[in-house]
Amino acid sequence: MSSLNKKLVLAFLFIFMFGSFGFYVIDRATKSRINNIGIIGQVPAFSLTNFDGSIVTEKQLNDKISIISFIFTQCDGACPIMSDNMSVLQERFSSSNDIQFFSITTDPEFDTLSVLTDFSSKYSKKNNWFFLRGNIADVVSLSEQGFFLSAALLPVGHSTRFVLVDKDSNIRKYYEGTVESNIYELQSDIVTLLNQE
């Protein structure tokens, strides 16, 4: 073999070796992302009232990716950050009609429909964000049994997590709604889910 040919063969082997390794790692990373949002459970039946007075049930979750959180309007700790983050997500995904947001109040006594309407106009810029209220016992059981999120000492003791629910009402993953890195993670998981379907 001439020395040029030898070099070309070496170059080929070199690129092939590193290329295969790179491809393998990238492939594993991509698949791990999908595996990481495995199905955790199914959202149970519920019936709550949206701020505009309409009734929202579990059927609303069909065929859309949903981000769900528990908040109350008088809360001044985590909730404003959570709502700000949700607002950012709503803005970033505003071009898609396959995504919707839910904020369920843990203080239905104070958070009447008119309070929720004011609250929604402060954060929501599109009609794909539902601000829901209902019987406090229903909210507690939805949080604890439906989403496996603690709901002790309400209203303050609500969970600060966001729940990612897929188009078949499956709970896929939880995110700390006040932590920026979790919001990035949620964002990329939404894109993964959208691309999968």
Partner 1 sequence: MTNKFFFRSALISTILSYLLIFVGGLVRVSGSGLGCPDWPKCFGRWIPPTSIEQIPAHIDPAIFNIVLAWIEYGNRMLGVIVGISIVVMTIIAIIYFRKNSKILYSSILSLFLVGANGGLGAIVVSSLLNPFVVSLHMILALFLVSVLSYTTIESYKLTNSNQFTGIHLSSSVSISLIALWILIIVEILLGTGIRTNIELIAIDNPLLSKGELLNALESYKYLHSVLGFSLLFLSAYLSYLFKDDFFGLSKQLVYFIFGMILFQIFLGELMIFFELPQLTRLFHTWGSSWLVGIIIILYNTLHYEQPK
Residue 30 contacts partner 1 per CB under 8 A: yes
Residue 32 contacts partner 1 per CB under 8 A: yes
Compute how many residues bind partner 1; rule: CB under 8 A: 33
Residue 194 contacts partner 1 per CB under 8 A: yes
Among 39, 44, 45, 92, binds partner 1 (CB under 8 A): 92
Interatomic CA distance for residues 72 and 105, integer angstroms: 5
Cβ of residue 162: shortest distance to partner 1, in angstroms?
10
Residue 29 contacts partner 1 per CB under 8 A: yes
Omega within 30 of 0 (cis) for the link into 80: no
Candidate ranges 54-62, 87-95, 110-118, 121-129; the one touching partner 1 (CB under 8 A): 87-95
Residue 111 contacts partner 1 per CB under 8 A: no
Candidate ranges 14-22, 41-49, 60-68, 137-145; the one touching partner 1 (CB under 8 A): 14-22
Residue 197 contacts partner 1 per CB under 8 A: no
Interface residues toward partner 1, by CB under 8 A = 15, 18-19, 22-23, 25-26, 28-33, 36, 92-93, 95-96, 173-176, 179-182, 184-185, 187-188, 190-191, 194
